[in-house]
Structure 1
Amino acid sequence: MNTLITVAPTGAESSKADVPQLPTTLDELVETAVRCEAAGASMIHLHIRDADHAPTLDPGRLRASVDAVREATDLVVQLSTGGSVQDPLDQRLTVLDAEPDSCSLTCGTTNFGDDVFLNPWPFMVDLYRQSIEREVVPEFELFDLGHVAALQRLLDQEGMPFGGKVHVDFVTGVPGGMPGTSAALLAGVELLPPQVTSWSATGIGRSHLPIAATSLSAGGHLRVGMEDNLVYARGRAVQHNDELVLRAAELATLMQRPPMTTTEARDLLGVKRR
């Protein structure tokens, strides 16, 4: 199977002041999306920033970002429902109003550095039910092995998502979550519910390349981008997200699993044509 490459270009953690090359304006986001699609990405995972480059869940900015990326590219547009760790739960539910193709759905609360990324069970169920009603495909984010069990509980209780496919992403290497090691990732893969149809993996920071190699060799897909990794190699900062996408595409091609087209990605995920 070819490889789904998701790019997560911005995130909510890094500041523009510390990382000037981080795409935080709408123009920068669209330019990044165009270049990353050309480099081999077929899905983009968006966090939005305000005029001061701070994380925001402003409905107008969310909608404008989805529309602009959709107009400029054929990428599958996924919005983060995690926002930043400070965002209230009720506001995070409003992300689906922007009508993305996909949304993230994190399967449990996790320590996140010095903070807590809150995802209580009732919030997970609310978000899941709304994603089905809105015909938005969820990507289940798994930061820990307990999240794999919570995904099983959610699917058993609520049934299959819109589109009939179950795609998950292992987020490894977050301080407080599962480590960015091959052993941890493969343990999670071993425990995946039978309903899962595809999975990808993310390695934060220096676990970026080992996790990518493990995922490809085990039949998984890849998520890369400056949300997860700001260093290309020792002593060399990432200058543009397309560098990380290009390297992922080269690695996937070397493993004889070249990047998917956006059409193949839509079929894999069960995404609605909008």
Structure 2
Amino acid sequence: MENPAAHQVMITVAPTGAETSKLACPALPTTLAELVQTAQECEAAGAAMIHVHIRDAAHQPSLDPAALRETVIALRESTGLLVQLSTGGSVHDGFAARLAVLDAEPDSCSLTMGTTNFGDDVFANPWPFIVDLYRLSQERQVVPEFELFDLGQVHSLARLLREHGLPFGGQVHVDLVMGVPGGMPGDVPTMVAAVAALPGEVTSWSATGVGRSTLPVALAALAMGGHLRVGMEDVLTLSRGVPVESNAQLVSRAAELARLAQRPPMAPEQARRLLGCAPR
């Protein structure tokens, strides 16, 4: 597996997620205006892509098609970031609504490679749904980011590529989601095992450390040539007892670590080439 941009780091910001409530975390960007401002701040801090979950007027997770399309348009008009929409939604969303996310024409979409125990809930991704979503992404020319929550999903990715070919754009990018209760732990031995097991078609990979695994995962990924995903979807504290005030704080810290590792953050257009996304 080659990483054509190993000397630079693509930073993805995941600013909102579907789990944290606005009441519990008022700084969470849940309105379109908040999301646009967050995107602009994070791009200035070094982010190249934004992983988007949206909320409704009551700040609850939503997959409303019109709101998703409006969000994609607003982010493209206000930033240069690659726009990646979550097809996971919340654990309560149905498969049809999750497939319809691609109607909003994002640059990229998440594509989780298996069902995962997610805390007390179940994040359902059965094989037929994975195939349907993958074929739709190829048809719609949307680049998938394969989200891998455990080592079994690494092997499922190999099967998907073998049976259904490469994604649109010809590049294969994966994100190791580590530290979720019910998924693989966020530690170095697990990352080493996961990266070693990635199929040869993989051209780049990133890692997400959830909760307390955020910094260990980021440091290990930088050392191993991986890219980074950070954001308030995944962690709400900078250190024990110190809450995150904005997503830009997390992006700035990731960018600082990347520069210390002599792998400076890449610009959105570089990330577009890395992932094989269509030109705007």
* TM-score, normalisation: structure 2: 0.97
* 2:175 match: secondary structure: strand
Find the aligned partners of 2:269 and 2:208 in 1 and give their Cα distance: 22
Matches within 5 A, 1:1-274: 1-274=7-280
**Distance of 1:228 and 1:153 partners within structure 2:** 28
What is the RMSD of the two structures over their aligned residues, measured on CA atoms?
0.4
Q: CA deviation at 1:183?
A: 0.9
One-letter amino acid matched to 2:82 = V
User: Which secondary structure state, in structure 1, belongs to the residue aligned with residue 38 of structure 2?
Assistant: helix
Q: Distance in 1 between matches of 2:168 and 2:261?
A: 31
1:36-55 Cα offsets, whole Å, 9 max, x none, are 00000000000000000000
**Superposition deviation, residue 91 in structure 1:** 0.9
- 2:44 is paired with a residue whose SS is helix
TM-score, normalised with respect to structure 1: 1.00
How far the C-alpha of 1:218 sits from its partner, in A, is 0.3
Q: Secondary structure at the match of 2:200?
A: coil
Query: Taking every aligned residue pair, what percent have the same amino acid on both sides?
Result: 67
CA distance in 2, matches of 1:89, 1:213: 35
Q: Tell me the CA shift for residue 157 of structure 1.
A: 0.2
The letter of the residue matching 1:230 is: L
**C-alpha distance in 2 between matches for 1:142 and 1:83:** 16
Q: Return the alpha-carbon distance in structure 2 between the equivalents of residues 101 and 225 of structure 1.
A: 19
Distance (whole Å) between structure 2 residues aligned to residue 256 and residue 180 of structure 1: 23
Q: Which amino acid aligns with 1:65?
A: T
Aligned residues: 274
State the distance in 2 between where 1:217 and 1:230 align: 24
Secondary structure of the residue that 2:245 maps to in structure 1?
A: coil
* TM-fit CA distance, 1:233: 1.2
Shift of 1:205: 0.4
Distance in structure 2 (CA, Å) of the matches to 1:100 and 1:18: 29
Helix, strand or coil at the partner of 1:273: coil
SS at match of 2:41: helix
- In the aligned structure 2, how far is the partner of 1:263 from the partner of 1:17? 36
The one-letter amino acid of 2:47's match is: A
Deviation at 1:273, TM superposition (A): 1.4
Query: How big is each residue's C-alpha offset from its partner over 1:155-192, in whole Å with a ceiling of 9 and x where there is no partner?
Result: 00000000000000000000000001111111100100
Q: Supply the AA of the counterpart residue of 1:150.
A: S
Q: Deviations over 1:131-156 (max 9, x none)?
A: 00000000000000000000000000
Runs in 1 of length 4+ with deviation above 2 angstroms?
none
Unaligned stretches of 5+ residues in structure 2: 1-6
Provide, for residues 59-88 of structure 1, a one-character-per-residue CA deviation record: whole Å limited to 9, x for no partner.
Answer: 011001110011000000000000000001
